[in-house]
Amino acid sequence: MSSPPRPRPRLDSVNHAFWTGGAEGDLMIVKCGDCGEFTHPPQILCRHCQSENVAPTAVAGTGAVETFTINYQPWVKDLEVPYVIARVRLDGVPGVYLTTNIVGCPVEDVKFDDKVRVKFEEQDGIFYPLFEKVS
Amino acid sequence: MAREAYITGVGQSEVGVRLPRHPLLLTIDAINVALKDAGLTLDQIDGVFSFPGKSNGYLAFSPVGTDEIIEVCGIKSKWQMGAMEQPAQLSAIGMAAMAVKEGLCRHVICFRTVYEAGGMANPAEYMPLQHKEVSGGSQWTSPFFATSAACWTAQYAQRHVYKYGMTREQLAQIAINGSKNAMLNPNARAITKEELTLDKYMSARMITTPLCLYDCDRFTDCSTVIIVSAGDALDEVSADPVRIAAMSGSVDRYSWDQAEWSAAYDAGPDLWKNTDYSVKDVDTAQFYDGFAFLPLTWLEGLGFCEKGEAHKFIEGGTRIARDGELPLNTGGGQLGAGRLHGFGFAHEAVTQLRKAAGPRQIPGDPRVAVATSGGGPLAAALLLARD
């Protein structure tokens, strides 16, 4: 999946940590300093207790495949197919899923509940959190 | 006694792919059909409602706004609404029902106009969505080339494959049933030209597992209009009114990938809370099928079967056929009759309840229908009754 560039998220003060945390190898999810719950997509307050005491926090970066699809349709010109789109549930981050790609293995090798680990792919200063299977 | 709200007129413009006619004119065409159907004239209309309002960022998705209709039709509007931020497409009709129940309006036009095929043919005027830089909700999916709602819906569907054993042969019945019904729907001629067979379905190219080409609706140009009238204004109407007996909506996580289950599982049970009707009374179901898996979530959410059982409910297709126990998407649905984006389901429900569906009319004396819209985190349902 190297051909066309990935769509680039427009950075702002709220999403900056998520999209650039990979520079330090960190997957950053907004965590509440009061109730300890996570808010994703990131926000400037906690979606569980509405506290403003929230901050992007490095999480383990491991998780499991909640569900997935093998995509065959090239949605943009020259997009290499097939590839796996998955929803990953993150270890230690209850209630948060990430849509991502599972990379580094043949598409037919991805299964429900597979253990995965984040693998950042950098493109022009954005660190895309992709995931690969943990053997 | 509280006022009731009725659907008194339905109308549709020409339905096609890359229609040369301007979408504003398609909307006027549909309004004229609906007014004639209801026996009303424009000077009796005092409200205009739409989903999702004029979409200036992606004009082909919704090229006409309520302001524009008020202006060009000379409507003296008392209340209007055109907004994306509501439960789902059909909730615009729900909002109209609230307006007439509240006494704000007597007869209102609700419309949904789509021009996504025509827009592709004219990119200078209808700028396509660009994916190079993304913000808002799409930043959580597009960077992973999960570009289309097909990819998001497929992940819900794939869970039914894994957890509950749904097969492609079972899922195929939605598209096959839709194509059979579309063949009898004169408004679907530009979309369905021949009946879909299981063989053809099984050999179709995959879009995103488990959804193949026939599981995805296609861009269509059309306007659909529903006229909603107050119960105390029915003496001004000549057509058979159909009562909006109940409605429900749900949005929990406004995000396709954070919602664990689609919102149909919340809006479904809620539909039965404000009515004496129950799931057993439903004579026909018109369920949103922009992707073939979505009607399964409504079958389960509304309680026609248990969660995880819908693929067995539709197996073989006899139960959902026009002469089956729950005739489904009798006009073809969006898979068979085009991506009318929600309003087609209300149009077909009313047509069936009035026994005006011609060769595709379901047998018996249908009195109760459910029309739904939405998918993923969005859901809105209407219970319609000829009582």
Interface contact B258-A67, CB threshold 8 A:
no
pLDDT (tens digit per residue) in B51-60: 999 999 899 9
Which segments of chain B are extended strands (E)? Answer: 5-12, 47-50, 79-82, 107-115, 133-134, 206-208, 211-212, 221-230, 242-251, 284-286, 368-373, 378-385
CATH number for domain B5-122+218-385, candidates 3.40.50.720, 3.30.565.10, 3.40.47.10, 3.40.50.880 = 3.40.47.10
The residue segments making up the domain with residue A84 are 16-133
Which of B130, B160, B208 to mutate to test binding with chain A, by most A CBs within 10 Å of its CB?
B208
Q: Give the C-alpha separation, B267 to B377, whole Å.
A: 11
Domain boundaries, chain B: 5-122+218-385
Residue A7 lies in a domain: no
Which residues face B225 on adjacent strands? Answer: B11, B111
Interface contact B144-A101, CB threshold 8 A:
yes
Model confidence band, residue A130 (pLDDT cutoffs 50, 70, 90): very high
The answer to whether residue A58 scores a pLDDT higher than 80 is yes
Flag whether the pTM goes above 0.80. Answer: yes
A and B: number of Cβ contacts within 8 A: 109
- Looking up tokens 């869970």 gives B159
Burial of B324 (0-12, 13-18, 19+ CB in 10 A): middle
Model confidence band, residue B25 (pLDDT cutoffs 50, 70, 90): very high
Which chain B residues touch A112 with a CB distance below 8 Å? 159, 162
Which residues face B212 on adjacent strands? Answer: B206
Min Cα distance B149 → chain A (Å) is 11
Residue A102 lies in a domain: yes
The number of domains in chain A is 1
Interface contact B208-A71, CB threshold 8 A:
yes
Residue A87 lies in a domain: yes
Residue A11 lies in a domain: no
Model confidence band, residue B295 (pLDDT cutoffs 50, 70, 90): very high
Q: CA angle B102-B36-B344, nearest 5°?
A: 70
Q: CA angle B17-B144-B87, nearest 5°?
A: 60
Interface contact A7-B134, CB threshold 8 A:
yes
Residue A1 lies in a domain: no
The answer to whether residue A1 scores a pLDDT higher than 80 is no
